């Protein structure tokens, strides 16, 4: 993709990764991603972030389209040191020999740890710092733990642009550059997936940071994340900021997710009976087998659900490996405001529901009594599972009403 002038003298010079399929441990399926970076032409030329190292050639080509083959870049602004954004930094420093490299206090530590540089012209810019490019000013705001400690937002007041790095991003490889060029519903789903699988553990920090940004009274007319599409216009920017508040507050819907693995279909049949009890009480239900769904797809559904029901047979005095993987992944993302329940079958030792329930308790969920059956569920035990679904539905309604 060729560079795009997003405002006069400011260019998107990023790259599209059409073939990326996994990102930070979550599946992005066929969607791919983009690594966005930005070039500002002023009396001083500034590059905001780089791209993943394997796209160094593509980034150079885009920069040359704007600057010419021998063009100079005076300043580098590094908002985040993760390799998908700073992967080309060492190569870019060698080629362009910038006067200054600006980054956050934690960014400087991360930069040293990543690149082990000795004589780079690094200057730390804590919150409140600003630099002049000539006609333009760049102001810096630390956004720690969105989603790394080094994260920083760069704001240009003259153009009313916030360069937000990972915040407000989506993983989507497209020829379009702006959110108003695509289907809003699909875009929101991608934003939710990104948030649920990357940003979710830091939701308290998100709320605190957004509140601090609001108090700064930044006049934002464009939000430029480093993944996916950009947002332009005050209404668009307000929409995405409000959406992040909504995500961070983690207010659940009348929805339950049943996630399970099964050996000989006993646990699967129990899961379907629980689902029937929930559905008959008007609760939206998703039943997801770990053999058929990636853990990130499950997590995206769990994100806005009020209840999570987990199921597994006993296996080697524990649970099946795919369920253990799912619970580990979910625990790390720290979902809040959930009701939890466990189901499972067993042959002789029967530890499954104890292991599952303990995992849910460790995540702070409100627990509904578990159900386990020996070998194959009977009609009576499936009725118990159906009733468990109705009990969970009642708990959901009590929680949300």
Query: Which residues are marked as active site?
Result: 24, 80, 82, 84, 147, 166, 194, 227
DSSP string, 294-362: -HHHHHHHHHTEEEEEEE--EETTEE-HHHHHHHHHHHHH---S-EEEEEEEESSS--HHHHHHHHHHH
Q: Within a 13 Å sphere around the CA of 20, how many CA atoms are in the beta-carbon half?
A: 25
How many angstroms separate the CA atoms of 37 and 50, rounded?
A: 6
CA–CA dist 139, 142 (Å, integer): 10
DSSP assignment of 8-19? TTEEE--EEETT
DSSP state of 375: S
CA nearest 81: which of 116, 133, 129?
Answer: 116
C-alpha radius of gyration, the chain, whole number? 24
**Residue in this structure with the two tokens 């989603």, named with its chain if needed:** 147
| 370 in Cβ contact with 361 (< 8 Å) | no
Query: Cα 241 from chain centroid?
Result: 15
Beta strand segments in 280-379, E: 284-289, 305-311, 314-315, 318-319, 339-346, 366-367, 371-374
211, containing H or E segment: helix 203-216
SS3 173: coil
Helix (H) or strand (E) holding 274: helix 266-280
CB 136 within 8 A of CB 112: no
Q: Token pair for residue 188? A: 């929101």
Q: Are strands 231-232 and 222-225 parallel, antiparallel or unpaired?
A: antiparallel
Residues 6+ apart with CB under 8 A from 81: 103, 107, 110, 111, 114, 148, 150
Residue 223, strand partner residues: 162, 231
């Amino acid at each position: 993709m060729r560079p795009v002038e997003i405002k006069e003298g400011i260019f998107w010079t990023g790259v599209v990764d059409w073939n990326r399929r996994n990102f930070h441990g979550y599946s992005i399926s066929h969607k791919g991603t983009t690594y966005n970076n930005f070039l500002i032409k002023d009396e001083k030329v500034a590059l905001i972030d780089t791209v993943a190292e394997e796209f160094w050639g593509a980034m150079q080509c885009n920069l040359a389209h704007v600057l010419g083959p021998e063009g100079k870049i005076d300043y580098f602004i590094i908002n985040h040191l993760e390799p998908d954004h700073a992967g080309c930094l060492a190569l870019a420093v060698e080629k362009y020999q910038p006067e200054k490299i600006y980054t956050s206090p934690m960014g400087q530590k991360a930069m040293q740890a990543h690149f082990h540089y000795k004589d780079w012209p690094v200057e730390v810019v804590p919150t409140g710092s600003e630099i002049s490019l000539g006609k333009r000013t760049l102001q810096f705001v630390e956004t720690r733990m969105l989603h790394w400690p080094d994260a920083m937002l760069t704001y240009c007041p003259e153009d009313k642009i916030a360069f937000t790095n990972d915040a407000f991003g989506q993983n989507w490889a497209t020829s379009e550059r702006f959110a108003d060029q695509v289907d809003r519903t699909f875009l929101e789903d991608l934003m939710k997936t990104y948030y649920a699988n990357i940003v979710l553990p830091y939701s308290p920090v998100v709320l605190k940071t957004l509140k601090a940004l609001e108090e700064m009274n930044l006049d934002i007319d464009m939000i430029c994340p480093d993944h996916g599409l950009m947002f332009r216009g005050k209404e668009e920017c307000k929409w995405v900021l409000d959406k992040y508040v909504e995500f961070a507050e983690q207010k659940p819907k009348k929805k339950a997710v049943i996630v399970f693995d099964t050996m000989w279909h006993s646990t699967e049949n129990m899961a379907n009976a629980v689902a029937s009890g929930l559905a008959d009480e008007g609760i939206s239900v998703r039943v997801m087998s770990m053999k058929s769904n990636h853990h990130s797809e499950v997590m995206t559904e769990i994100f806005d659900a009020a209840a999570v029901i987990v199921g597994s047979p006993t296996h080697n005095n524990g649970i099946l490996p795919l369920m253990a993987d799912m619970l580990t992944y979910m625990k790390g993302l720290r979902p809040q405001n959930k009701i939890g329940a466990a189901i499972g079958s067993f042959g002789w030792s029967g530890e499954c529901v104890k292991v599952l329930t303990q995992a849910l308790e460790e995540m702070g969920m409100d627990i509904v009594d578990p159900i386990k059956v020996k070998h194959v569920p009977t009609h009576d035990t499936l009725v118990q599972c159906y009733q468990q679904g109705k009990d969970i539905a009642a708990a959901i309604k009590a929680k949300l009403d």
